[in-house]
Amino acid sequence: MLRKDELVGEVRTIYFGGGTPSLLTSEELAQIFKTVFENFLVSEEPEMTLEANPDDLSKEVLLQLAKSPINRLSIGIQSFFEEDLKLMNRAHSANEAFICIKAAKEYFDNISVDLIYGVPGMNVERWKKNLETALSFDVPHLSCYSLTVEPKTALETFIKKGIFPPVEDEIAAEHYELLRDMTREAKYENYEFSNFAKEGYHSQNNTAYWRGKPYLGIGPSAHSYDGNIRSWNVNNNTKYIKSIDEDVLPLERELLSEKDKYNEYIMTGLRTKWGVSLGRIKKDFGEKYANYLMKQSREHLDNGLLVLENDTFKVSEHGKFLSDGIASDLFWIL
């Protein structure tokens, strides 16, 4: 394996994401796991997640996955309403979403459900019903994202033509406030801006990203990070396979500067419950960066969007929906 020496220490999480990994056969999954375990030191109880869409998770597929080392499912429900699913061009129906979660709970305990808010035409009442439905299944993890309109998509065209109303930040903020309140009442912890978990069910994989741990990405378009270098594989399947067959790594690399690493820590840290440690800034980047952070944060501390507790900066409850904008104000741009 061309990259078997790139990770040092135990592998604690394995994540099958992007595309439709649930289409892998039992034999293909088994071969992947065999290769991983032969080439890496895997911890005794790793988190092994597979992303899937409801229309891909038949009872037969769920049974196959349950017999594999996979122990966590991340299901892209997005909405329990047909009008939302059609607008987002999803392949599954609302009924398939219900059936999928019910079936998945027969085989898996650790399940995460993805939902999207801020959808054009989605009023607060419909978003509330989406949340009530998701919470009624008692899944231990929710990932909830505000809709973003990507360039050159059908949704962008429909909005420009006036077929759908535009995405409104004010409505998305109202949806997020309801999300935060309802999940708190249901005993979920908002441990990262978009992620909510019951005790013991934080995503170990995503937490590693947010806390700057090294990771290795395999497959077309996959990204990797070792603490200093970020790399990304080519996004063309044919080129990727051809390169691998020739024992050549099909990737590009970027050496991160001190400024890059500081800015990434600010961005990811402020989105999480762990915040940004002033002590770590001093240790990893020096007094210059620490003084800059104190100076740039003053306005947000004064207006209550940021708090400084135990030498750690955290976004206040009032400032959570603005966390990315706050982070950008703290970036080193000199």
Above 80 in pLDDT, residue 114? yes
Are 46 and 180 within one domain?
yes
173 and 303 share one domain: no
| Residue 24 shares a structural domain with residue 41 | yes
Q: How confident is the model at residue 8 (pLDDT cuts 50, 70, 90)?
A: confident
* Same-domain pairing of 155 and 49: yes
Q: Does residue 265 belong to any structural domain of this protein?
A: no
Are 111 and 45 members of one domain? Answer: yes
CA 304/CA 299 separation, integer angstroms: 9
Res 18: pLDDT: 78
Which pLDDT tens digit goes with each residue over 245-261? 999 999 999 999 999 99
133-166 per-position pLDDT tens digit: 999 999 999 999 998 767 766 666 766 777 666 7
As a whole number of angstroms, the distance between CA 156 and CA 160 comes to 6
Q: Which structural domain, as residue segments, surrounds residue 45?
A: 11-209
Residue 109 lies in a domain: yes
Q: What is the pTM of this model?
A: 0.92
Q: Does residue 5 sit within a domain?
A: no
Note whether 172 and 147 are within 8 A (CB): yes
Q: How far apart are CA 31 and CA 217, in angstroms?
A: 17
- Model confidence at 177: pLDDT above 70: yes
Cα–Cα distance for residue pair 265/327, rounded to 1 Å: 10
Report the CATH number at residue 88: 3.30.750.200
28 and 144 housed in the same domain: yes
Whether 93 and 192 map to the same domain: the answer is yes
Residue 269 included in any domain: no
| Span 198-242, pLDDT tens digits | 999 999 999 999 999 999 999 999 999 999 999 999 999 999 999
Residue 179 lies in a domain: yes
* End-of-domain residue from the set 209, 243, 264: 209
* Mean pLDDT, residues 37-58: 94
In a shared domain, residues 78 and 173: yes
Helix (H), strand (E) at residue 13: strand 11-16
pLDDT, position 148: 79
In the structure, what pLDDT confidence band is assigned to residue 87 with cuts at 50, 70 and 90? confident
Same domain, 205 and 239: no
Same-domain pairing of 130 and 54:
yes
193 located within any domain: yes
Residues 45 and 167 in one domain: yes
Residue 244 pLDDT class (50, 70, 90 cuts): very high
**What is the model's pLDDT at position 164?**
66
Q: What is the 3-state secondary structure (H, E, C) of 18-69?
A: CCCHHHCCHHHHHHHHHHHHHHCCEEEEEEEEEEECHHHCCHHHHHHHHHCC
Q: Which of 16-20, 47-51, 304-308 has the lowest mean pLDDT?
A: 16-20
Domain count, the chain: 3
Q: Which of 185, 209, 233 is the last residue of a domain?
A: 209
**pLDDT at site 257:** 96
In this structure, is residue 4 part of a structural domain? no
């909005």: which residue's tokens? 159
163 and 51 in a single domain? The answer is: yes
